[in-house]
Amino acid sequence: MSDTQLAWVVWAVLLPLGGIVVNLVVGRRLGEKGIGAVASLAAGGSFVLSGLLALALLQHPEGGIYRLATWFNLGSLTVDWSFRVDTLSVTMMLVVSGVGTLIHIYSIGYMHADVRHNGDPQRFRRFFIYLNLFVAAMLLLVSANNFLVLFVGWEGVGLCSYLLIGFWFEKGEGGLGNARAAKKAFIVNRVGDFGLLIAIFLMIGAFGTLDFDGVFAQAAQAAPALLVAITLFMLLGVTGKSAQLPLFVWLPDAMAGPTPVSALIHAATMVTAGVYLVARSQALFLPVPQAQAAVTWVGGLTALFAATIALGQYDIKKVLAYSTISQLGFMVAAVGMGAAVAGIFHLVTHAFFKALLFLAAGSVILGLEHGHEHAGEGHDPFDPQDMRQMGGLRKRMPLTFAVYLVGALALAGVAPLAGFFSKDEILVAASERFPVVFGLLLAAAFLTAFYMGRQLILVFFGEPRSKAAHHAGESRPLVTMPLVVLAVFSALGGALNLPGLHSLEHWLEHSLVGVKEGHFVWAVALGSLAVALLGLGLAWLVYGRRAPTEQDALARPLGPLYRAFERKWWVDEFYRLVLLRPLGWLAQVLAGPVDLGLINSLGDGLGQGSQLSANWLRKLQNGLVRSYALVVMVGVVAMFAYLLWVR
């Protein structure tokens, strides 16, 4: 590829930053439409550039590296602002900027209503500035050519996540709920980033470089113990960013952000960064099966664990949030076991259908808010995200229902929608390499179908269970148009890597190491389809036949188990008890008794000591000539003694 073509990648990263500058400088005069248009055009421009890069890659699939400048060069370590154009990075760029652009467009309509509902229209511009910043950081993450530039994007998206979760920073539980959720997300992610940083330090020591090519070329000769250390610390980073066990706790709270944020950052793109990292670093994982197993197990356990929690949620977005954690578990397991193509395939299809589901959920929320105001109950406390307040929206929001159905079935893994094919590839790989994890994933797939069936029924079927639901109406075209586009991709996305054709596999072969040819196993495919249909059918049996009540239909038959689902297995409470409380207490002890007590007394002791010695010394200067004479005489004697005997 020519340098001119390679330079497009830089422009793709810079364009959204340009959007920020424009909106900062003249945004106030542009009005909402103008602000939204600038931001969307910036993201759309990045998408066009990504598309051009993809076309160029068709000619030169080996891609290339574009070095912009030296970031810093110290001792023997040089880190450049350099970018990597290959099939993997461009695939990610297409997803990020493509889904990103659609969500920008959707947000123009959504945020118009949201800023008014929340009573601060001035904040419209700020939202798009953050969103553009996110796109830039995420594109940097996936197009970086070394681990440190990747880390800039990695923490950059985390920062945007912080800002956007706390977008309505004065709202939420007690007025502080959203701000706390944002802080929690950042700090939990920092715990993960700690792991990634240590991995980077280890790589510097071992390989002397952070460039992907330099690191991967030396990986084969590296000591296995070292690689295990690097990859396991990296895994800690993955569990933070991609919300896996044990660091997943921030993602459900992150739903405090506006719904487009949940769709873009907390479902389609940012949270998949961990999956991308492991896929990109396959050369480090492949030589050490222990590390591969660790990643696979983390993914498999998370997939099942999060799916159980999704069963017990009533908030429409929380169900989707736990579903995201669960699906990320599928992807992490896939890249862990070396089925990187399957992992990326699922990443792409999931970006389509989960973005679709979140945005459609946003449309439902708008519909309910609209209905709530229409019903003349504008000031009553009302949670427009509580599925117990919904029902019967099928007739009131037909378009939203149609696209939601597509998304839900794709997620459940019903053939021939996108999710079926990508999930199937993961299951095939697992069945051959990790039979127990295969079992976990299959169970998770069953639960996925079940909780999506439950959600569909609670939201769209039956009769409206609140006045707001009764008066709900369909959203504006600006909101629904992106939904239709995403629905088409969710339906047809499987075509990317159809069995027999394997187009995605052949595309990614150029940038992923250790790609094994995928194959289609009828038994697994039929099994997973059966599991999906069984889950949906069972959901219909449990929820579809009678009107839902305040208590979930499963609460009685499952008893304490269901209580555990509802209460998220008490993980937050556990962390509070064993980590946050003791640490907070420790900080208090350090600040109080230790610092103000012990260490401070060192200093005050110094003061008193000098005062004491001063008092004592003062006695020497008593003004009496005879005592001075005595001192002089003692001195003279001592000097003589020294000269006579010692020398």
Partner 1 sequence: MNAWFHPLVLITFLPLFGLALLLLLDGRNERSLRWVALLTSLVTFGLAVWALLLDRQGALTELSLPWLRLGRLAVRFHLGADGISLLMVLLTTFLMPLALLSTWTAVQGERLKGFLALFLLLEVGMNGVFLALDLVLFYIFWEFTLVPMIFLIAIWGGERRIYAALKFFLYTMVGSVLLLVGILFVGLQVGSFDLPALIQNRATFAGAQTALFLAFGLAFAIKVPLWPLHSWLPDAHVEAPTAGSVILAGVLLKMGAYGFLRFNLPLFPQASQQLAPWMAGLAVVGILYGAGVAFAQKDWKKLVAYSSVSHLGFVMLGIFALTPQAVSGAVLQMVNHGLSTGALFLLVGMLYERRHTRELAAFGGLWKVLPVLSALALIVTLSSLAVPGLNGFVGEFNILAGAFNASALGNVWFAGLGTVGVILAAAYLLKMFEKVFLGPLVHEENRSLADLNIREVLTLLPIVVLVVAIGIYPQPIFDLISPAVERLLMLAAQP
The single residue among 169, 212, 353, 404 that binds partner 1, judged by CB under 8 A, is: 169
**Residues 592-611, interacting with partner 1 (CB under 8 A):** 592, 595, 599-600, 602-604, 606-607, 610
Single out the segment in contact with partner 1 by CB under 8 A; choices: 172-180, 278-286, 478-486, 511-519. 172-180
Q: Kindly report the length of the chain.
A: 647
Query: Does residue 166 touch partner 1 according to CB under 8 A?
Result: yes
Q: Which residues 568-587 are close enough to bind partner 1 by CB under 8 A?
A: 584, 586-587
Least CB distance to partner 1 at residue 98 (A) = 25
Q: Quick one: 71 or 216, whose CB is closer to partner 1? A: 71
Across the chain, which distance is largest between two alpha carbons, in Å? 115
- Cβ distance to partner 1 smaller for residue 198 or 558: 198
User: Which of residues 190 and 519 has its CB atom nearest to partner 1 in the complex?
Assistant: 190
Question: How far is residue 331 from each of residues 64, 192, 230, 265, 315, measured CA to CA in Å?
Answer: 27, 18, 20, 16, 25
Assess 47 for contact with partner 1 (CB under 8 A). no
- For the CB of residue 40, give the shortest distance to partner 1 in the complex, in Å: 23
Question: What type of residue is 449?
Answer: A
Residue 381 or 500: the one with the smaller Cβ distance to partner 1 is 381
- Comparison of 573 and 595: residue with beta carbon closer to partner 1: 595
CB of residue 184 to partner 1, shortest distance in Å: 9
How many Cβ atoms from other residues are within 10 Å of residue 223's Cβ? 9
Q: Which stretch binds partner 1 (CB under 8 A): 146-154, 299-307, 350-358, 471-479?
A: 146-154
Instruction: Give the span between the Cα atoms of 287 and 643, in whole angstroms.
Output: 77
Contact call for residue 402 and partner 1 (CB under 8 A): no
Minimum distance between the CB of residue 121 and partner 1, rounded to whole angstroms?
A: 13
CB of 231 to partner 1, least distance (A): 17
Helix 418-433 vs helix 316-336: crossing angle, to nearest 10: 40
Nearest to 168 by CA among 108, 112, 120: 120
Among 190, 395, 519, 576, binds partner 1 (CB under 8 A): 190
Cα–Cα dist 555/5, whole Å: 58
Amino acid at 571: V
Q: How many residues bind partner 1 (CB under 8 A)?
A: 54
Determine if 222 is a binding residue for partner 1 (CB under 8 A): no
Structure tokens at 21: 């500058």
Helix axes 273-280, 123-143, angle to 10 degrees: 10
By CB under 8 A, residue 155 contacts partner 1:
yes
Confirm or reject binding of residue 200 to partner 1 (CB under 8 A). yes
Q: Which of 29, 58, 205, 646 forms a contact with partner 1 (CB under 8 A)?
A: 205
Cross-strand bridge partners of residue 386: 315
Q: Which is nearer to partner 1, 247 or 267 (CB)?
A: 247
Angle, helices 177-207 vs 212-219, to 10°: value is 60
Stretch touching partner 1 by CB under 8 A, among 5-13, 14-22, 154-162, 397-405: 154-162
Judged by CB under 8 A, the residue of 503, 549, 551, 588 near partner 1 is: 588
How far is Cα of residue 318 from the mean position of the Cα atoms in its chain?
Answer: 15
Q: Is 191 in the site for partner 1 (CB under 8 A)?
A: yes
Q: What single letter denotes the amino acid at residue 273?
A: A
Interaction between residue 138 and partner 1 (CB under 8 A): no
Distance, first Cα to last Cα, the chain: 85
Q: What does the block give as tokens for 198?
A: 């240590």
Task: Say if CB 210 and CB 204 are below 8 A apart.
Answer: yes
Assess 644 for contact with partner 1 (CB under 8 A).
no
Q: Shortest CA distance to 360 belongs to which of 352, 505, 374?
A: 352
Residues with Cβ < 8 Å from 620, sequence gap 6 or more?
627, 631
Residue type, 602: L
CA 512/CA 216 separation, integer angstroms? 11
Check binding of 68 to partner 1 (CB under 8 A). Answer: no
Q: Per CB under 8 A, which region of 31-39, 171-179, 288-296, 444-452 contacts partner 1?
A: 171-179
Token representation of residue 283: 């050369």
Query: What three-state secondary structure class fits 604?
Result: helix
Minimum CB–partner distance for residue 292 and partner 1 (Å): 24
**Is the CB of 183 or the CB of 516 nearer to partner 1?**
183
Nearest to 84 by CA among 63, 69, 61, 60: 63
Confirm or reject binding of residue 510 to partner 1 (CB under 8 A): no
Q: Does the protein bind partner 1 through residue 612 (CB under 8 A)?
A: no
Cis amide leading into 246 (omega within 30) = yes
Q: Does 198 bind partner 1 (CB under 8 A)?
A: yes
- Distance CA(568)–CA(460), nearest Å, equals 25
Q: Which is nearer to partner 1, 133 or 456 (CB)?
A: 133
Pick the binder of partner 1 from 117, 180, 374, 394 (CB under 8 A). 180
Phi, psi of 380, deg, nearest 5: -70, 145
3-state secondary structure (DSSP) of residue 621: coil
Nearest-approach distance from CB 267 to partner 1, in angstroms: 24
Q: Is 435 in the site for partner 1 (CB under 8 A)?
A: no
Binding site for partner 1 (CB under 8 A): 69-75, 77, 120, 148, 151-152, 155-156, 159, 162, 166, 169-170, 175-176, 179-180, 182-183, 186-187, 190-191, 193-194, 197-198, 200-202, 204-205, 584, 586-588, 590-592, 595, 599-600, 602-604, 606-607, 610
